[in-house]
Amino acid sequence: MAKLLIIIGIILVALGLLWPLLQKLGLGRLPGDIVVEKENFSFYFPIVTSIVISLILTLLFWLFRR
């Protein structure tokens, strides 16, 4: 269990460091992501981005399992 948590932590740190690069590729502001901006309020729900990331991770895990 400890090994799994360490691996997940390393992956999250790597994603945090790569996030600016991913945003330049367009990931994070895809059509279908919900953005509500008002005067003193901003809400962002990246539903399409989440689906794309989920599909990519599912494919990678499926390939590594074989």
Domain ranges, residue 39? 2-65
28: pLDDT strictly greater than 80:
no
User: What integer pLDDT is reported at residue 43 of this predicted model?
Assistant: 92
Total domains present in the chain: 1
User: In this structure, what are the phi and psi dihedrals at residue 6, rounded to the nearest 5 degrees?
Assistant: -65, -40
Q: What is the mean pLDDT of the segment spanning 5-34?
A: 84
**pTM of the complete model beyond 0.75:** no
26: pLDDT strictly greater than 80:
no
